[in-house]
Structure 1
Amino acid sequence: MQLFVTNVLISLLWALLTGKVSVGNLAVGFVLGYVALTLLHSEKEERKNSYFRKSLQIVRFALFFTKELVVSSWRVARDVIKPLPEMRPGVVGIPIDAETDLEITLLANVISLTPGTLSLDVSPDRKTLYIHAMYVINPDDLRKEIKEGLERRLLELLR
């Protein structure tokens, strides 16, 4: 956490030195600060510090989710335009490894943000998440896609 605060302070210092306080300039300062902190810390310290690891996981998750968002948006848009839709809607129960309220809530929200899927409910024992999907050709494939895709990456990020 200390390195993150240092990185934010470097970003603010960059904005003040350049004389332009904007979101873009703060982002440039943040990236420059991140690079500087990476160069200043030894590999031994870096292995101990989770700041660099977590920040890379955040970037990887953001890129993965963006790809999923684009692919699912394209699929839904293409299906809306087609004369004969390929939709096969259904409700599927997905066994989840998420345990805390935060993990379950974030997983449900990430699933709901992706076009074509909507989180409906969590079982009373909090082991199954029920979702509605527009394209349920094979429920097992959908379960595998969510478990190995969104859930695995999200839990890596949170744990």
Structure 2
Amino acid sequence: MPLLILNIFFAAVFTLLLGSTRISAFIAGFFIGYIILWVSRPLYPDTRYFRKLPKTINLVLYFFKELVISSFRVTWDVITPSHISRPGIIGVPLSARTDLEIFLVSNLLSLTPGTLSVDLSEDRHTLFVHVMFLEDGDKTRQEIKNGLERRVLEVMR
């Protein structure tokens, strides 16, 4: 965590030195700060920062990709006269075990249009998800497990 704060500090200083208020300057500063920290990583032997940050970026990009795709799919279903939705509820077996892991998986699923986390089994091993476009339950389960849940667990563990 201290390296993340240091990286944000580098990005803020870079942005101030440029005299810019654009987010692109902050992102460029963050990237430059990351490279500086990466070069000096022998000074930080016990950190997981250099493994976690790329995985976090991967999760964010994956989520935004799914968000855009599902938004267009739901929008198309709403504006066309014939409905292509086939709603259903499926149980997704979870590999997530901690409260935070389950929280992130279920809420990121609920934030994506067309899916909604409905309930968690009492043993906390199955998440019940309402899916607006359910064509194949097994395929949808695998997409959730190998897509969103896998990326969340990579970041959290």
Deviation at 1:71, TM superposition (A): 1.0
Structure 2 partner of 1:41: 41
Structure 2 partner of 1:80: 78
Structure 1 partner of 2:30: 30
Structure 2 partner of 1:155: 153
Structure 1 residues 74-131: Cα deviation after superposition (integer angstroms, max 9, x where no partner): 1111111222111111111111111111111111100001100000110111011011
CA distance in 1, matches of 2:59, 2:83: 31
AA partner of residue 142 (structure 2): K
Structure 1 partner of 2:93: 95
Q: 1:69 to 1:47 in 2, by over 3 A?
A: farther
Residues matched between the structures, number: 157
Contact 1:46 1:52 in 2 (8 A): no
CA distance in 1, matches of 2:68, 2:22: 28
TM-score by length of 1: 0.87
AA partner of residue 29 (structure 2): G
AA partner of residue 12 (structure 1): A
Unpaired runs of at least 5, structure 1: none
Residue 130 of structure 2 corresponds to residue 132 of structure 1:
yes
Map 1:103-142 → 2, pairs under 5 A: 103-142=101-140
Unpaired runs of at least 5, structure 2: none
CA distance in 1, matches of 2:17, 2:98: 43
SS in structure 2 of the partner of residue 93 of structure 1: strand
Residue 17 of structure 2 corresponds to residue 17 of structure 1:
yes
Structure 2 partner of 1:65: 63
Structure 1 partner of 2:49: 51
CA RMSD in angstroms comes to 2.0
The percent of aligned pairs where both chains have the same amino acid is: 45
AA partner of residue 108 (structure 1): S
